[in-house]
Every structure is written in C-alpha cells, then in structure tokens.
Amino acid sequence: MRNVMRDWDAKQLGSLDGRTAIVTGANSGIGFHTALELGRAGARVVVACRDAARGGDALTRLRAAAPAGNFRLEALDLADLASVRAFAARFLASGDALDILVNNAGIMALPKREVTADGFERQFGTNHLGHFALTGLLLPALRRGRNPRVVTLSSGLAYVGRIRLDDLQSERRYSPSGTYANSKLANLLFMVELGRRAPWLTSVASHPGATHSNLQVHAGFASRLVMALIGQTADRGALPSLYAATGDVATGEFFGPRHLFNMQGSPVEVSLPKRAKDASLARSLWDASEKLTGVHYELDAPVARSA
C-alpha cells in the first residue's frame, strides 16, 4: 500500500506551473475544490460543466478564491456524446498538451431509469461511458502532456457493484443505488484497463468517502443518515482526488479517505474491489464501451517532451 503522509492536504500539492488540467463536473462539490486547488498550485484549469449558468457562477467563485489562478470554462455534457466530441475537438484545436485529466463528474441514485441523449442508461452512460469517450478522444493531447495522468473518480459503493455484460444498460434490472454502484465499479475496471493498454500514462482512481455534495439529491434515508452523522465537507472530500492527481502514485492505485472505514479524513491508498481486478471482465467492458460509444482508442506512444 502507498505510504501517504498521514495528514496530507492541499498545502502539499507543490507547484503545478506549466501544467494543464481538465476537471469534469467542476461547478460544485468535489470537482469545484479539485479545480480550485489545482489552479492555486499554478495549473491552467479547464472547468468542464454541463450547465452554462452554474459553470459561470463557479468560474466567478474560483477566480475570487484564487485570483492568480488560470481558469477557463468549457461546456461539456457527459450524457451526450455529441457534446463530448465537441468539447474534445475544441481542446485539441487549441493545441494545448494535457497533463492531468480528472474524470470527476457523475450522477447518483436516480429514482427511475432514465436514458442519455444516445439512449444509454443515464448513470452508466454519464459516469462511465461519457468519461470513457472523453478520455479516448483526448489521447492526442495526453500524449503531449508532461508525465500525463488520468484520475477516475469512483465510490465506496463500487465494492458492491456488479457488471452484467448482458445487461449493461440495466434494462432488466434497475435500482437507484445498485445501478450507481455498478457504474462506479465500471470506473475502476476502466482505470485498470487504461493503465494496462496505455503504460505511457498514469491511470489511477479515487473516491471521496462520505462527502456532502450535490450527488445526494436523490439519496435514500440510510444515505442521508450516514451523511448527517459522518459526512465531511467537499474540500476534504476532494483530497483523495488531489493526491491521485498530483502525488507519488503508480498506475492501478486507488485512493480514499483514511478514517472510519475510508469514509473521512486525509487520503490513503485503499484496496481495489475484487471484481475490479478481473482482467477478463475489464477487457470485455472495454470492448463493449468502444462499441457503444464509437470511440476507439489510438494508443500510440507519447510525443517526447522535456520535463
């Protein structure tokens, strides 16, 4: 297990001058604080948000909190592959290298089964397929990055998730929290398989533990009770993501809070769920994801770049 400084926090980030980062879902909660601290540390941060009004408000708050930071707002709806493709095309057209991609955005526990613009079950489509497509489309920019890193956010619920390859869209079996857990396990399978297929980048994952955020808007009574008792603030919940994005890590590692069964506190490496270590399942999910999204990864070696 990775030996993380016991009380690690954002003050230990160090300088990110010259780095470029993209944070999805950066308008609130964990994503907002991830973007804020990366910007404070000197990174150029693309604030990727679905809602223009909320994104504009977040940009104002980010600039007020970190006046020296370099933040840029871009529209991105992970539940619409046309939006994902348009976002990636704009970023690639800028010619910027991409050093850090934080696949943070997500939705949780929708009461009824809904579908995305492309007909995917909304939780699986947003949390997994949207980020799968985004990462694949941004590979040319990641190749130009300085020690490029992809951070994929999962959840403690991934430990109870299951991937049914014959029912990825939860058409036969849907439950609000169960389908969410499945999408979070998919995130970890993607993280591991990305690292295997693209050894030239660092692919890691994190989860925030019990953290207050907009994700809980549809949470049930049990979840609300847990949050009321032990929930931590979003700036603390962002610490595992920030460590995964900037710390001394290796591909395939998973970071979460240190205390209360990995529910709160400073970051520490945590064990992957057993199902996330299933290499055959990871390959099958990858193949299915390429087929569903139409995004096929071009995994050439990176462009040489000085440190």
pTM (predicted TM-score): 0.92
Separation CA 124–CA 293 (nearest Å): 12
For 61-118, the pLDDT digits (tens) are 999 999 999 999 999 999 999 999 999 999 999 999 999 999 999 999 999 999 999 9
> What is d(CA 63, CA 68) in angstroms, rounded to the nearest whole number?
8
pLDDT value of residue 233: 81
- Give the architecture-level CATH label for domain 10-290: 3-Layer(aba) Sandwich (3.40)
Residue type, position 68, single letter: A
Of 48, 119, 29, nearest in space to 79 by CA:
119
Q: What is the pLDDT of residue 265?
A: 75
Q: Over the stretch 187-245, which tens digit does the pLDDT of each residue have?
A: 999 999 999 999 999 999 999 986 655 554 555 545 555 555 555 788 999 999 999 99
Task: State pLDDT tens for residues 115-164.
Answer: 999 999 999 999 999 999 999 999 999 999 999 999 999 999 999 999 99
Residue partners of 10: CB distance under 8 A and separation at least 6: 37, 40, 41, 235, 238, 239, 242
Q: Which of 159, 174, 180, 297 is catalytic?
A: 180
Question: Quick one: which H or E segment has residue 21?
Answer: strand 20-24
Backbone angles phi, psi at 148, to 5 degrees: -60, 145
pLDDT digits (tens, 9 = 90+) for 239-271: 999 999 999 999 999 999 985 555 667 899 999
Which pLDDT score, from 0 to 100, does residue 303 have?
Answer: 56
- Known catalytic residue at 159: no
What residue ranges do the domains of the chain occupy? Answer: 10-290
> Alpha carbon of 274 to those of 140, 158, 205: distances in Å?
32, 10, 15
